[in-house]
Amino acid sequence: MDLVVRGGTVVTMDGPRRVIENGGVAIKSGRIVAVDKTAIIDRHYAAREVVNATGKVVIPGLINGHTHVPMVLFRGLADDLDLQEWLTKYIFPAEAKNVTEEFVRVGTRLGLAEMIRGGTTTYCDMYYFEDAIADETFKAGMRGVLGETVIDFPVADNKTNEEAMAYVEKFVSNWKSNRLIVAAIAPHAPYTVSEDHLKAVRAFSDRTGAPIVTHISETRREVDDSIKAKGASPIDYLNRIGFLNNRVIAAHVVWPSEEELGLLKKLGVGIVHNPQSNMKLASGVAPVPEMLRQNLPVGLGTDGAASNNDLSLWEEMDTAAKLHKLISRDPKVVTAEEAFEMATLRGARALHLDKEIGSIEKGKRADLVIVDLDDLNQTPSYNIYSDLVYATKASNVRTVIVEGRVIMRDRRLLTLNEETIKADTRRFRERIIRSLGAKTVPRIKLSLPRLARAGAT
């Protein structure tokens, strides 16, 4: 074997939901060869590299089903606003003045480092210069479903629809059959992309097999405006024009009807629930208990860090479980195990990747995370799913493995330079402040040691 992980409590998320005490995982060529008791793994397999997980938990890598990763550079830029004001008055102007390929690469490295530190091994993205995001993601050794944005107004990388579609064509071709990167096309939303262009996106997906990443029914206003303008809700409209299919990954879906949920299930549309972003922007609460009751493929996402403001799946799991208990007034809905499933196997279903990732099973990609089990916030331990969802934090993640490769060991990033990332981020912060004016963005005076670390004179 290339790698053996041994001695931990293995939470497999396989069909029988096995939790193997003192378990082990054997890995070869990026895939899982065997999952069993450590004694059995030791008896049958030897490896060039062994990771000792004794006293820890081994889980499937977490899956962040929806984000805009370079937007970590806008973290905290504009808070406590509704979605339309947040977008039109702050985010779109900030993007117009600041987003370049360099911006995207710096933001991507920052976001990747944060996600890896938190045990996320796969993420689904929608942004600009997505080929650069794919390049940084691949170099960091992380897995991504990465969608190049198509939108009906000029943006940083493409000024027209023709330019955007040409970019996507090349982007998808560049990353075809890559073991870590799935290149996708990402029409922003049905209210920012015309019917003809949405139909062209569907045709492109049919021809290339590329997934479609989009936002659907995020706010009540979006639904009302769609009914007024098109005579149908966003979901019914997209179905009417033949857009929806089993390659679509729909972020948010906060305001579907029960009939629309049945339609999404029939068509095989993946859904990504973003509880913290939806709460912060007061967009509403998606009917996740009903989605689970109907066994829809619904995962969890953080959304961009400009509207969250972090990229932690641990916080999303905890929030999802508690939010729906509160709204439904039923403490039994969205159990800890269901919330964990949304961040792993069901999240993989939402991205149409459940044959490859989401559980620790023979034949699947070797994406594993090793988590401490004896930190103060996790002691004592009684139920593994409760411990993981309600008690565990991103800081409890010790080691991260993607495609059989260790990319973080004992909290040390192996494929990214943390100090360089922080210095680059501070530099872009100053650029963003200058571009928007001091009256728009409050200045925070940096201490001399921080300035020195950033290379300031």
Compute the average pLDDT of residues 10-36.
98
345 residue type, one letter: L
Q: How far apart are CA 389 and CA 134, in angstroms?
A: 30
332 located within any domain = yes
Q: Of 320, 349, 378, which closes a domain?
A: 349
Q: What domain range includes position 125? A: 62-349
Pairing of strands 19-28, 31-37: antiparallel
Residue 455 has pLDDT above 70, yes or no: no
> Is it the case that residue 94 has pLDDT exceeding 70?
yes
Residue 46: inside a domain, yes or no? no
Q: Is position 425 within any domain?
A: yes
Query: Average pLDDT, whole number, for the chain?
Result: 94
355-377 average pLDDT score:
97
For residue 87, report the phi and psi dihedrals to the nearest 5 degrees.
Answer: -70, -55
pLDDT category at 452 given cuts 50, 70, 90 is very low
Taking only the tens place, the pLDDT of each residue in 212-248 is 999 999 999 999 999 999 999 999 999 999 999 999 9
The answer to whether 115 touches 311, Cβ cutoff 8 Å, is yes
Give the pLDDT of residue 453. Answer: 39
Q: State the pLDDT at residue 84.
A: 82
Quick one: 412 exposed, middle or buried, by C-beta within 10 A (0-12, 13-18, 19+)?
Answer: exposed
Residue 443 binned pLDDT confidence (cut-offs 50, 70, 90): very low
Q: Does 32 fall in a domain?
A: no
Domain identity same for 302 and 437? no
In a domain, 131, yes or no: yes
283 is a domain residue:
yes
**Mean pLDDT along residues 359-371:** 98
3-state secondary structure the chain: CCEEEEEEEEECCCCCCCEEEEEEEEEECCEEEEEEEHHHHHHHCCCCEEEECCCEEEEECEEEEEECHHHHHHCCCCCCCCHHHHHHHHHHHHHHHHCCHHHHHHHHHHHHHHHHHCCEEEEEEEECCHHHHHHHHHHHCCEEEEEEEECCCCCCCCCCHHHHHHHHHHHHHHCCCCCCEEEEEEECCCCCCCHHHHHHHHHHHHHHCCCEEEEECCCHHHHHHHHHHHCCCHHHHHHHCCCCCCCEEEEECCCCCHHHHHHHHHHCCEEEECHHHHHHCCCCCCCHHHHHHCCCCEEECCCCHHHCCCCCHHHHHHHHHHHHHHHHCCCCCCCHHHHHHHCCHHHHHHCCCCCCCCCCCCCCECCEEEEECCCHHHCCCCCHHHHHHHHCCHHHEEEEEECCEEEEECCEECCCCHHHHHHHHHHHHHHHHHHHCCCCCCCCCCCHHHHHHCCCC
Comparing 261 with 78, the larger pLDDT belongs to 261
CATH number of the domain encompassing residue 274: 3.20.20.140
The answer to whether position 47 is within a domain reads no
- 258 and 145 assigned to the same domain: yes
Same domain, 423 and 313: no
d(CA 162, CA 151): 11
Are 291 and 438 part of one and the same domain?
no
| Same domain as 423, residue 344 | no
Provide the number of structural domains found in the chain: 2
Among candidate residues 293, 320, 349, the one where a domain is terminated:
349
Q: Is residue 286 part of a domain?
A: yes
The answer on 306 and 160 residing in a single domain is yes
Shared domain for 212 and 299, answered yes or no, is: yes
Strands 248-252 and 270-273: parallel
Q: Are residues 433 and 321 in the same domain?
A: no
Domain boundary among 333, 349, 365: 349
Give pLDDT tens digits for 275-314: 999 999 999 999 999 999 999 999 999 999 988 999 999 9
Ranking 70-84, 139-153, 201-215, 315-329 by mean pLDDT, the lowest is 70-84
**Quick one: pLDDT at residue 438?**
53
